[in-house]
Amino acid sequence: MLNSLIALLDSVYPSFKENSLTDKSFKHKDIVPLIEKMAFLSRIPVGESVEKRKIYSLTHSGGPVRILLWSQMHGDEACATAAFFDVINFLSGRKTLLFYPLLNRVRETILSALSIRFIPMLNPDGAERGTRENALGIDLNRDAISLLSPESLILKNSVVEFNPTFAFNMHDQDYLWSVGNTKKVAALSFLAPPYDAEKSINNPRQKAINLISLLYKLFNPLVDNRITKYSDDFEPRAFGETIAKMNVSTILIESGLWKDDPNKLFLRKINFCLLITAFWVLANASVPGDSETYSSIPYNGKILKKLA
């Protein structure tokens, strides 16, 4: 059923794609009108960036399983931000869904079982500059302990207040990382971040590992076997590790590169399909235990000189 769902999502994707976001260099001013006209989700300004740009949380209050997703904590990593608006268009119940009973059922089940909160473009000042860092020159993903930036504090407070069951930390992997020792460039990279230097596995981390294993088996064939595992070296200053330490099942998703796709439109579509699939299986509590698959995922290898 999951393969059929993904195929259907892929075929109807143009109906849900947010067509105002096609160039990956879009700015904060481009997403604010989308947020302000949004009637489906509760939209709340949760704070401001260093340069006083509003940062929003977009929340659906449904069932007891709580999903927190944030994007663009690095300002130049926009793929997931655009995909968020595609996913929101799907969840909002566009008329296209009337012609697809399966998709309607998927949407209704997700909204009934899950509470979902999106924080798109956590680092709008970095997006304005096209830089990884914020306006203070700080990498937000090394600021989870010091909390020197207002954007970092916004994310930390959101985790504490929302108390997510699962957290999706969405990034772009812009370098030419290889799939293991091959010459193939990684399209996507997953990680269930460790919460200690020993890389221990507690119940929340195991749940993240199980979900990644399932998504890997479903999506790796669709991206020419180009899914890798991000380095699991413990970095205590990173938000993934910090949130995992708070007993949240945390999943890192990095969108890499795809041939002849400078704006990452293909990988954006894959993000759309992947997130809705993840929501569906979490809504149905249908994620099998599977550490073996996770262990078999090749790590990011070396940086290649060209796309292959």
Q: Kindly report the CATH number assigned to the domain that includes residue 76.
A: 3.40.630.10
Q: Look at the chain and count its residues.
A: 308
The answer, as to whether pTM is greater than 0.85, is yes
Residue 201 pLDDT > 90: yes
Give percent of the chain above pLDDT 70. 100
* Tokens (6 digits) for 147: 């909390």
SS3 state of residue 211: helix
pLDDT score of 93 more than 90? no
Total structural domains within the chain: 1
Find the distance separating the first CA and the last CA of the chain, reported in whole Å: 32
Asked if the model's pLDDT at residue 49 lies above 90, the reply is: yes
In a domain, 254, yes or no: yes
Domain presence at residue 308: no
Residue 99 has a pLDDT of 86
DSSP alpha helices (H): ranges in 245-290? Answer: 265-283
Q: Report the C-alpha gap between 298 and 292 in whole angstroms.
A: 12
Mean pLDDT across the chain: 96
Model confidence pLDDT, tens digit, residues 257-303: 999 999 999 999 999 999 999 999 999 999 999 999 999 999 999 98
Q: Domain limits at 17?
A: 2-303
Q: What is the pLDDT of residue 94?
A: 77
The stretch 104-130 carries a mean pLDDT of 97
In a domain, 14, yes or no: yes
Contact between 176 and 257 (Cβ < 8 Å) = yes
Displacement of CA 133 from its chain's centroid (Å): 19
Are 102 and 110 a contacting pair, CB within 8 Å? no
Q: Is 174 exposed, middle or buried (0-12, 13-18, 19+ CB in 10 A)?
A: middle
- Tell me whether residue 229 is in a domain: yes
Place of tokens 């009337």: 98
Please give the C-alpha separations between residue 46 and each of 52, 141, 153, 173, 243, in angstroms, as whole numbers. 12, 19, 10, 27, 19
Specify whether the CB–CB gap between 45 and 285 falls below 8 A.
Answer: no
| Residue 43 banded pLDDT, cuts 50, 70, 90 | very high
> 257 is written with which tokens?
């590169």
Element (DSSP H or E) covering residue 249: strand 249-255
CA distance 305 to 155: 35
